[in-house]
Amino acid sequence: MEFLTAEELAKTLKCSKAAVRKWTLAGMPVKKLGGRLVRFDLAAALQWLEQRGAR
């Protein structure tokens, strides 16, 4: 499993960090590391986006 920051995920998906934040609020799966610190599993994020037709 590869965990990415919001910035790394945005670069990988060629989108803005704002889009990643929007998707997180819409339910994109995240790994919470305490407080507001989260990381994204690339495979889970891609699957979540595919299910919603966002990518």
Please identify which residue in the block is written with the tokens 């990988």: 12
Task: Give the DSSP letter of residue 44.
Answer: H
Q: What is the pLDDT of residue 27?
A: 96
Domain that holds residue 27: 3-51
In the chain, the number of structural domains is 1
Q: What is the pLDDT of residue 1?
A: 73
pTM for this prediction: 0.87
Amino acid type, 48: W
Q: pLDDT 10s digit of each residue in the chain, 55 long?
A: 779 999 999 999 999 999 999 999 999 999 999 888 999 999 999 999 999 986 5
Give the DSSP H/E element, type plus range, for residue 18. helix 17-25
Q: What is the pLDDT of residue 32?
A: 93
Torsion sign over Cα 31, 14, 7, 36: negative
Contact yes or no for 13/1 (Cβ under 8 A)? no
CATH number at residue 38: 1.10.10.10
Q: What is the pLDDT of residue 55?
A: 59
User: Rg of the Cα trace of the chain?
Assistant: 10
Other CB atoms within 10 A of residue 14 CB:
8
